[in-house]
Amino acid sequence: MNKNHFRPRAFTLVELLVVIAIIGILVGLLLPAVQAAREAARRCQCSNNISQLILAVHNHEFSFERFPPGTINPTGPIRNEPIGKHISWVVQILPYMEQRAVFSGIDQSLGAYAVENAHARSQAMRPLFCPSQNVGLVDNVAPTTYAGCHHDVEAPIDSDNNGVFFLNSRIRFDDIDDGSSNTIFIGEVADPDPLGWISGTRATLRNTGSIQGKFSSRNGAIPIPKEEDLLLVGGFSSFHTGGANFAFGDGSIRFLSQSIRPALFQKLGNRHDGQMLDLTEDDF
């Protein structure tokens, strides 16, 4: 018998290239689905983070019968620079986020930027970061990608703002005339400020006054602060496709579309404008 008669036939070069091409096409079709699944998981985790924050805010209100002040400082308006007391609302809710050790490590009487508070400022806490963003320490300071709403229009952070979190605010449920379910408390920011979560500046406070750039990372970004920018606060923003996560006063978490009407967005940032939302089919 011919010994070569049963020798297995190998792939030709053309067949190998065809197989590789098919595998490449299948991988190309699969990758977008994998990326979409990962983003959906990150968006869900982001929603869970904001849920923890609003729950901590409510626990603070339950304990003190008022919501935490947006920022604690002797005078206003608040300037976006490391000068002043600037104790943020995030600091006030740390005990209700199971971060009592960090809270105890902050001497609020010395202010947010005191050397004695440097170690606490460097603590990066998972609920303060959206997983869709790659955020790290800046000069050994931990920022946050979430902010409280201080006003419905672009204006300096001061004691006359009409949001829920502003300078030395002491807002109670009774002060939210428009209803807690119609008032934004917390939202995302895609341009976290290097002053960090301890700072009651634009680092932890934003407004619904401008939707320029929609919820893109360019909205309200200030790469290098200039003198004219020190009072600029900026709006909410997000790396999620199509919009951003927001926590409302009733504890609900809603994903607001980037195409939301600016007038409606502003009304949601005002706690007591007394105006009906005038919702349309496009708002759902």
Q: What is the pLDDT of residue 218?
A: 39
Contact 117, 107 (CB under 8 A): yes
How is residue 152 written in tokens? 């419905």
Mean pLDDT within 194-205: 95
What pLDDT was estimated at residue 2? 55
Closest CA to 92 of 116, 62, 57: 57
| Burial zone of 9 (CB within 10 Å; 0-12 exposed, 13-18 middle, 19+ buried) | exposed
The predicted-structure confidence for 148-163, as pLDDT tens digits, reads as follows 999 999 999 999 999 9
In a domain, 211, yes or no: yes
pLDDT tens column, 25-54: 777 776 676 666 777 788 888 999 999 999
How many structural domains compose the chain? 1
Letter for the amino acid at 105?
G
The verdict on residue 129 lying in a domain is yes
Write down the pLDDT at residue 226. Answer: 65
Q: How far is CA 269 from CA 27, 56, 101, 142, in A?
A: 44, 20, 32, 26
pLDDT of amino acid 21: 81
Q: Show the beta-strand stretches assigned E in the chain.
A: 71-72, 87-88, 146-151, 184-188, 205-207, 243-248, 253-257
pLDDT reported for residue 5: 56
Confidence of residue 100 (pLDDT cuts 50, 70, 90): very high
Judge whether 38 lies within some domain.
Answer: yes
The residue among 164, 138, 176 whose CA lies nearest residue 246 is: 164
Backbone angles phi, psi at 56, to 5 degrees: -65, -40
Q: Are strands 146-151 and 205-207 parallel, antiparallel or unpaired?
A: parallel
Per-residue model confidence (pLDDT) at position 35:
67
Predicted local confidence at residue 213, as pLDDT:
38
Structural domain includes residue 192: yes
Q: Which domain holds residue 55?
A: 32-283
Least confident window among 31-45, 107-121, 177-191: 31-45
Residue of 126, 123, 127, 149 whose CA lies nearest to 67: 149
Query: Does residue 140 form part of some domain?
Result: yes
Provide the pLDDT confidence category of residue 3 given band limits of 50, 70 and 90: low
Provide the residue type at 232 as one letter.
Answer: L
Distance CA 263, CA 2 (A): 87
Other C-beta atoms lying within 10 Å of the C-beta of residue 65: 11
pLDDT category of residue 220 using cuts at 50, 70 and 90:
very low
For residue 26, being part of any structural domain is answered with no
Q: How far is CA 279 from the centre of its chain?
A: 25
Mean pLDDT of 58-86: 95
Helix (H) or strand (E) holding 184: strand 184-188
Nearest to 185 by CA among 149, 234, 210, 209: 149
pLDDT, mean of residues 63-81 = 94
Please state, in angstroms and as integers, the Cα–Cα distance from residue 86 to each residue in 61, 74, 94, 168, following that order: 20, 9, 16, 10
Strand partners, 253: 247
User: What whole-number distance in Å separates Cα of residue 256 and Cα of residue 238?
Assistant: 11
- Of 48, 150, 59, which is closest to residue 99 (Cα–Cα)? 59
Give tens-digit pLDDT for 258-269: 888 889 999 999
For residue 229, what pLDDT is reported?
Answer: 81
Question: Does residue 243 or residue 59 have the better pLDDT?
Answer: 59
Domain annotation covers residue 16 = no
Res. 221: pLDDT tops 50: no
Quick check: 171 pLDDT over 70?
Answer: yes
- pLDDT value, residue 216: 43
Residue 19: inside a domain = no
Instruction: Quickly state the pLDDT bin for 222 (edges 50, 70, 90).
Output: very low
131 vs 135, higher pLDDT? 131
Tokens of 35: 């990326």
Q: How far is residue 180's CA from residue 89's CA, in Å, rounded to a whole number?
A: 18
Least confident range from 17-31, 158-172, 178-192: namely 17-31
Residue 194: its H or E element: none
